[in-house]
Amino acid sequence: MNEPARRHATYQDLFDLPEHLVGEILSGVLYTHPRPAPRHARAYSALGYAIGGPFDGGIGGPGGWWILDEPELHLGGDIVVPDLAGWRRERMPALPETAWFELAPDWACEILSPSTARIDRTLKMSLYARERVPHLWLVDPDARTLEVYRLQEDSHWLLLGTLKDDDAVSQPPFDAIGFPLGSLWA
């Protein structure tokens, strides 16, 4: 028996979602997951604080970046929402007037949760590679780890390192400063 044809998801499908769901369109398919649990939200808020001050605000660091929580990215036919993303201001001197970004970031970060880890590691990592995002971080609050990746010329990810618990973090592209990984855990 043939499976019925699947309709391509539209931007309107995102607006039609209930408030408690986050949606993304990847390869034409609508994916939804609940809003982040407190441990997940704590990790991305703390990480945004740890790198936002020095890199976005230039407070105790070099500045030169836009660091944003949950930006909506329109990349090709996909609509993706990383937990955090950053753009070098030399590539994007001003924020766009739209509610979304069409320029791929220079860094993306996904905070893994049981409901998102599979999509983050498969579909989204491939999408970020396709769009030539140079740096990707995966944070797992349950395992208390940070995986740091750099995109290679052949569009494959190179794992630069895996940090755990309260290791000192000084990793590309934010290796000009350091902070304890333990500051992300509740």
Show me where the domains of the chain are located: 36-184
Confidence of residue 1 (pLDDT cuts 50, 70, 90): very low
Question: Does pTM surpass 0.85?
Answer: yes
CATH class of the domain defined by 36-184: alpha beta
Q: Which is higher by pLDDT, 36 or 119?
A: 119
- β-partners of residue 80 are 73
Mean local confidence (pLDDT), 146-170: 97
Q: Please tell me the predicted confidence (pLDDT) of residue 174.
A: 98
Cα–Cα nearest to 119, from 29, 15, 17: 29
Which secondary structure element, helix H or strand E, spans residue 38, and what is its range? helix 38-51
Confidence of residue 10 (pLDDT cuts 50, 70, 90): confident
Evaluate if residue 140 carries a pLDDT over 80: yes
Mean local confidence (pLDDT), 48-70: 96
